[in-house]
């Protein structure tokens, strides 16, 4: 009898709610009961609300058990876990869970499915096929595919990836770089982390394709230090790829050399800004650079550099393999393809939902998310991290589309969706936006460095009821200054959440005294 | 955590090829192993990486992770960012301060209590990190359990 495969995710969220303990207990009980099992630590499917989500392979069908605790394991075995037996934790076949099967999994299709550290598993699931196709078709073909796909930067700015790659490809230089931005600091976002933990070899393949397309032989991944488990998984994956000849010299006898160096950040939010990240990669203070020059012309160590987010790079292999048309066939208008939306905060069914652009915020929050975790009404939803606007409950029918969001003074950013119920005091959220900017500002430009501190002071006065109308005008003026005169998005977009509070929740300034937590 | 010594510092520098452009990585390695960066280490790094003391000091001061004071034996970080706020992290923080009898940014006895802005665990908020391990869905009861467990592992 062959050994039954049991999957327990080794992914930060699953582990944060007990997946390691569950895995240990499964191994212990299996040994004790003489049950032959193969324990596989897969990535997460992204249905975080079901974690720890254990799966058992029964004749090729993976049966899911949700919210499994170590205490459940003994009774699971007694109920016939290895044959998919009935149990209060049993959900049924993983491929029948609506939350998962209704998604458009383009970039995250291997996450959850495979063992992220198994090269064999990766290769059995199309791994490195896109890179081989790139080698066969040549750099021009890759550049054209990325351009035609309409892929835009998933880190937040949404700049067309094809234009960026083309610029670097055209810029003459003996040395060029691919710099992968894995400094995912926005609250409410975790898609980069899930990809790196669930399919790190997919990211490596995407980076190698980028290097081949633009003529770069070196890649860097700048990973934030708050992700230690990701660090461990990603560094092992890089070693694995290198050991098998997928990184290094003359990859797959193509004549193309490419290797990746993994750098770790040190707790600075602004290092997620591309030029600050380049400074940090050079070993310096993460201070934002003035643009121009663009990193595509003079980036890391002054050389032409493609700076792309994790999800952007990991979307490329399927674009190369399945064709730009298929990717561009999803989405709406200038927002082509898919985005990995992240449902977070006060939400019943939080997790990652990769869907084509065009779905509405309400569909994501209600149909996928199931409303708030508290069961209370939604009051506000912050989309796009700490620099994103708070969207009031009345506006949730906005489609997820870069331009539609700009139209309502908001931004999609990295696709993080943080839900707040009606107990939140929005004046305090506006204050936090300014406070966060004051804490994290790199200090190079005055509007951001000083403006944020002044912003906190002005909001404090408003909350205290001091000259509320005059301070309101002052705050609007301050937002104008920060927005217009800051060097980067840190100071330039902190006004977004603040303005949205002024526009939609101004009454909370008056009531903040009594509603304080 | 052990106290860093000059020999170990030199080894870490050497493992990074004594490249000045790897200063952030050298410091990250030091902090991961020893928890902080003493003044003497700044001096030594400047000399061994051929940088000015001001350069090294500037980098150390800039990054949140590079503590310049010795932390407690355990480092407890409570997420203060929006997704966790939406699930009551402020209340949890007040509770933690009260039950540990200390404030954010303090080092008392064996614990350093710090704020952190996002652990990327936003679908299972509020989140807490203890000695590099992330915990999700932390309510007051669970906070007590993980702190007890941490103390038990002393």
ipTM: 0.97
Inspect the interface and report whether the beta carbons of B82 and A346 lie closer than 8 Å. no
Q: Which two tokens stand for residue A332?
A: 């709406």
Long-range contacts of A445-450 (CB under 8 A, 24+ apart): A445/A288, A445/A485, A445/A486, A445/A487, A445/A491, A446/A485, A447/A481, A447/A482, A447/A484, A447/A485, A447/A486, A447/A491, A448/A482, A448/A486, A448/A487, A448/A488, A448/A490, A448/A491, A448/A492, A448/A494, A449/A491
Which strand (E) or helix (H) includes residue A165? helix A161-170
| A419: chain B residues, CB-CB within 8 Å | 86
> Which chain B positions have a beta carbon within 8 Å of A262's beta carbon?
none
Selecting from A266, A346, A351 the residue whose C-beta is nearest the C-beta of B86 gives A346
Range of the domain at B58: 6-62
State residue B3's pLDDT score.
81
Question: To which residue do tokens 């699930």 refer?
Answer: B87
Q: What is the mean pLDDT of residues A371-397?
A: 97
With CA atoms as reference, report the closest residue to B77 among B37, B133, B154: B133
Residue B82 belongs to a domain: yes
HSE-CB of A352 using CA atoms within 13 angstroms: 31
pLDDT tens across A98-152, in order?
999 999 999 999 999 999 999 999 999 999 999 999 999 999 999 999 999 999 9
- Do residue A190 and residue B136 have CB atoms under 8 angstroms apart? no
B140 and B97 in a common domain: yes
CB atoms B64 and A267 under 8 Å: yes
HSE value, Cβ hemisphere, 13 Å, CA-based, for A492? 13
Q: Closest approach of chain B CAs to the CA of A286, in angstroms?
A: 8
Report yes or no on B69 lying in a domain.
Answer: no
Confidence class of residue A517 from pLDDT cuts 50, 70 and 90?
very low
Q: Are residues B137 and B117 in the same domain?
A: yes
> Which pair of structure tokens corresponds to residue A157?
């700015």
Task: Domain ranges for chain A, please list them.
Answer: 4-101, 119-328, 331-421, 426-515
Q: Say what the alpha-carbon torsion angle A42, A46, A48, A54 is, to the nearest 10 degrees.
A: -30
Q: Which CATH number do you get for residue B117?
A: 3.40.30.10
Q: Could you read off the pLDDT of A475-510 as tens digits, one per residue? A: 999 999 999 999 999 999 999 999 999 999 999 998
Are residues B12 and B79 both part of a single domain?
Answer: no
Same domain, B78 and B147: yes
**What kind of fold does domain A4-101 have according to CATH?**
Glutaredoxin (3.40.30)
Instruction: For domain A119-328, give the CATH number.
Output: 3.40.50.11540
pLDDT for position A515 = 45
- B125 vs A225, A229, A344: nearest CB: A344
Q: Is the peptide bond before A293 cis (omega within 30 degrees of 0)?
A: yes
If asked whether residues B58 and B90 sit together in one domain, one would say no
Per-residue model confidence (pLDDT) at position A9: 98
List, in sequence order, every residue forming a beta bridge with A418; answer none if it has no partner: A344, A382
The answer to whether the Cβ–Cβ distance between B117 and A12 falls below 8 Å is no
Are both B57 and B78 inside the same structural domain?
Answer: no
Contacts of B22 in chain A (CB under 8 A): 283
The CA R_g of chain A, rounded to the nearest whole Å, is 24
Which residues 6+ apart lie within 8 Å of A223 measured at CB? A182, A183, A196, A230, A231, A234, A262, A263, A264, A265
pLDDT in tens, A267-301: 999 999 999 999 999 999 999 999 999 999 999 99
**pLDDT per residue over A405-417, tens digit each?**
999 999 999 999 9
In CATH, the number for domain A331-421 is 3.10.20.600
Sort out which chain A residues have CB atoms less than 8 A from B64's CB and list them.
266-268
For A316-337, what is each residue's pLDDT tens digit?
999 999 999 999 999 999 999 9
Within the 314-343 window of chain A, which residues sit less than 8 Å (CB to CB) from chain B?
Answer: 342-343
pLDDT of res. A512: 57
DSSP symbols for A297-313 = TS-GGGS-EEEEEHHHH
* Closest residue, chain A, to B22 (C-alpha): A283
Confidence class for position A339, pLDDT limits 50, 70, 90: very high
Q: Does A424 touch chain B (CB under 8 A)?
A: yes
* B67: in domain: no
Of A267, A284, A418, the CB nearest to B82: A418
- The pair of structure tokens assigned to A91 is 């959900």
Query: Which residue is closest to A14 within chain B, CA to CA?
Result: B136
Please indicate, yes or no, whether residues B144 and B80 belong to a single structural domain of this protein.
yes
Q: Are residues B82 and B148 in the same domain?
A: yes
- Whether residue B12 lies inside any domain: the answer is yes
Assigned CATH class of A426-515: mainly alpha
Residue A350 has pLDDT above 70, yes or no: yes
Q: Do A13 and B124 touch (CB under 8 A)?
A: yes
Same domain, B112 and B137: yes
Return the HEC string of A112-124.
CCCCCCCHHHHHH
Q: In angstroms, rounded to a whole number, what is the distance separating the alpha carbons of residues B126 and A350? A: 12
Q: Residue A358 has which token pair?
A: 């065009």
Say whether residue A382 is in contact with chain B using an 8 A CB cutoff: yes
Per-residue pLDDT of chain B (154 residues; tens, 9 = 90+): 678 899 999 999 999 999 999 999 999 999 999 999 999 999 999 999 999 999 999 999 999 999 999 999 999 999 999 999 999 999 999 999 999 999 999 999 899 999 999 999 999 999 999 999 999 999 999 999 999 999 987 5
Q: Are residues B55 and B117 in the same domain?
A: no
User: Do B98 and B148 sit in the same domain of this protein?
Assistant: yes
Number of A–B residue contacts, CB under 8 Å? 157
pTM: 0.97
Residue B48 lies in a domain: yes
Q: Bridge partners of A223? A: A182, A264
- Which of B61, B122, B146 has the highest number of chain A CBs within 10 A, making it the mutation to test binding with A? B122
Contact flag B134-A16 (C-beta cutoff 8 Å):
yes
Q: What pLDDT does B5 receive? A: 92
Count of structural domains within chain B:
2
Mean pLDDT, chain A, as a whole number?
A: 97
| Nearest residue in chain B measured CA to CA from A228 | B132
Helical H segments across A297-445, by residue range = 310-322, 324-328, 361-362, 402-407, 426-440
Nearest to A386 among B63, B82, B132 (CB): B82
- Whether residue B30 is found in the same domain as residue B96: no
Q: Which of B12, B57, B11 is nearest to B31 (CA)?
A: B12
What is the model's pLDDT at position B154? 57
pLDDT band at A1 (very low <50, low <70, confident <90, very high): low
- In our burial notation (b when 16+ CB lie closer than 10 A, e otherwise), range A13-43 reads bbbbbbbbbbbebbeebbeeeeeebeebbbb
Tell whether B68 is covered by a domain: no
């Amino acid at each position: 009898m062959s050994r039954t495969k049991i999957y327990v995710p080794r992914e930060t969220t699953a582990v944060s709610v007990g997946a390691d303990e569950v895995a240990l207990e499964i191994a212990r009980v299996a040994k004790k009961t003489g049950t032959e099992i193969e324990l596989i630590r897969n990535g997460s499917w992204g249905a975080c609300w079901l974690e720890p989500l254990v799966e058992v392979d029964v004749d090729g069908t993976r049966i899911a058990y949700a919210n499994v605790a170590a205490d459940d394991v003994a009774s699971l075995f007694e109920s016939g876990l290895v044959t998919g037996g009935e149990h209060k934790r049993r959900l049924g076949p993983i491929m029948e869970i609506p939350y998962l099967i209704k998604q458009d999994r383009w970039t995250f299709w291997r996450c959850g499915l495979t063992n992220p550290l198994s090269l064999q598993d990766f290769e059995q699931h199309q791994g490195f096929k896109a890179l081989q196709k790139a080698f066969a078709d040549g750099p021009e073909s890759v550049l054209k595919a990325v351009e035609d796909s309409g892929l835009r930067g998933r880190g937040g700015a949404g700049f067309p990836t094809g234009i960026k790659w083309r610029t670097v490809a055209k810029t003459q230089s003996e040395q060029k770089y691919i710099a992968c931005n894995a400094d995912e600091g926005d609250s409410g976002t975790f898609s980069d982390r899930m990809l790196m933990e669930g399919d790190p070899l997919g990211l490596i393949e995407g980076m190698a394709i980028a290097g081949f397309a633009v003529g770069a032989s070196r890649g860097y991944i700048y990973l934030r230090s708050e992700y230690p488990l990701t660090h461990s998984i990603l560094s092992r994956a890089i070693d694995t790829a290198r050991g098998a000849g997928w990184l290094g010299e003359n990859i797959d006898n193509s004549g193309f050399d490419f290797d990746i160096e993994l750098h770790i950040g040190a707790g600075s939010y602004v290092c997620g800004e591309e030029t600050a990240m380049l400074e940090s990669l050079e070993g310096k203070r993460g201070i934002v650079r003035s643009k121009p020059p663009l990193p595509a012309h003079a980036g890391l160590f002054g050389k032409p550099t493609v700076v792309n987010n994790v999800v952007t790079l990991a979307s490329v292999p399927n674009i190369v393999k399945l064709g730009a048309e298929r990717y561009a066939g999803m989405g709406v208008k200038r927002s082509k393809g898919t985005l990995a939306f992240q449902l977070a905060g006060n939400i019943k069914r939080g997790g990652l939902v990769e869907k084509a652009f065009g779905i509405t915020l309400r569909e994501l929050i209600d149909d996928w998310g199931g409303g708030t975790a508290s069961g209370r009404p939604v009051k506000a939803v912050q989309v796009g991290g700490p620099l994103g606007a708070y969207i009031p409950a009345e506006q949730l029918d906005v489609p997820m589309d870069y331009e539609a969001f700009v139209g309502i003074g908001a931004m999609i950013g990295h696709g993080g969706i943080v839900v707040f119920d009606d107990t939140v005091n929005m004046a305090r959220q506006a204050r936090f936006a300014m406070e966060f900017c004051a804490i994290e500002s790199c200090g190079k430009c005055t509007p951001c460095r000083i403006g944020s501190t002044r912003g906190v002071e002005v909001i404090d006065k408003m909350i205290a009821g001091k000259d509320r109308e005059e301070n309101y005008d002052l705050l609007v003026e301050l937002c104008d200054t920060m927005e217009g005169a800051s060097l980067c998005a840190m100071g330039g977009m902190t006004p977004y959440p603040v303005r949205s509070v002024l526009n939609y929740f101004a009454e909370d300034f008056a009531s903040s005294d009594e509603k304080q937590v | 955590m052990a106290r860093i010594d000059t020999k170990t510092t030199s080894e870490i520098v050497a493992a990074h090829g004594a490249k000045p452009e790897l200063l952030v990585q050298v410091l990250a390695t030091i902090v991961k192993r020893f928890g902080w960066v003493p003044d003497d280490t700044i001096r030594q790094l400047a000399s061994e990486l051929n940088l000015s003391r001001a350069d090294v000091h500037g980098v150390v001061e800039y990054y949140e992770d590079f503590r310049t004071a010795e932390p407690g034996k355990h480092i407890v970080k409570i997420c203060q960012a929006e997704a966790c706020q939406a699930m009551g992290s402020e209340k949890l923080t007040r509770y933690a301060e009260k039950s540990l009898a200390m404030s954010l940014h303090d080092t008392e006895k064996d614990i350093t209590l710090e704020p952190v802005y996002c652990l990327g665990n936003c679908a299972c908020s509020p989140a807490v990190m203890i000695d590099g391990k992330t915990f999700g869905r932390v309510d007051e009861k669970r906070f007590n359990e993980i702190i007890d467990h941490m103390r038990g592992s002393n």
